[in-house]
Amino acid sequence: MPENVIYHNPRCSKSRAAMAILSDHQADVKVVEYQQDPPSVADLKDICRKLKLGPVDIIRTRDVKFRALHVDDLASMSDDDIYQLIVDHPEILQRPIVCYHGKAVIARPAEQVLTII
């Protein structure tokens, strides 16, 4: 995984806003459209380490796409199973996630990206 990356969904207004902030600040990041190019389990583990969060925290649990999966109890799943769930269903990943120089942030609101660039 590149050190500086944004996991981006071009249809998401928050993701587009984060991209604009990165561009305005001339932050050099690789753009990964994660629904077409999902992060690996290793990438997700690295993201969570940088965020200082667990894998459950990077899932959009209130999203209709997550609810459609009928996951009964995330709390009873192992971290590895949750990471694999995200790999298999990247649309449930929080967005946007920006990794920059060893730090990461879920840029919701988009201005959160300013805390790491």
pLDDT digits (tens, 9 = 90+) for 30-80: 999 999 999 999 999 999 999 999 999 999 999 999 999 999 889 899 999
Write the pLDDT tens digit of every residue in 100-112.
Answer: 999 999 999 999 9
Catalytic residue list contains 99: no
Write the pLDDT tens digit of every residue in 16-40.
Answer: 999 999 999 999 999 999 999 999 9
Q: What's the CATH superfamily of 5-115?
A: Glutaredoxin (3.40.30.10)
Given 4, 8, 11, 12, the catalytic residue: 12
Q: Which helix or strand (DSSP H or E) is residue 9 part of?
A: none
**What percent of the chain is helix, strand and coil (3-state, nearest 5)?**
45, 15, 40
Is the four-CA dihedral 37, 57, 85, 60 of positive or negative sign? Answer: negative
Nearest Cα to Cα of residue 65 among 108, 12, 113: 12
- Domain-by-domain residue ranges, the chain? 5-115
- Is the pLDDT at 1 greater than 60, yes or no? no
What is the per-residue burial (b if ≥16 Cβ within 10 Å, else e) of 37-49?
A: ebbebebbeebbe
Q: What is the pTM of this model?
A: 0.92
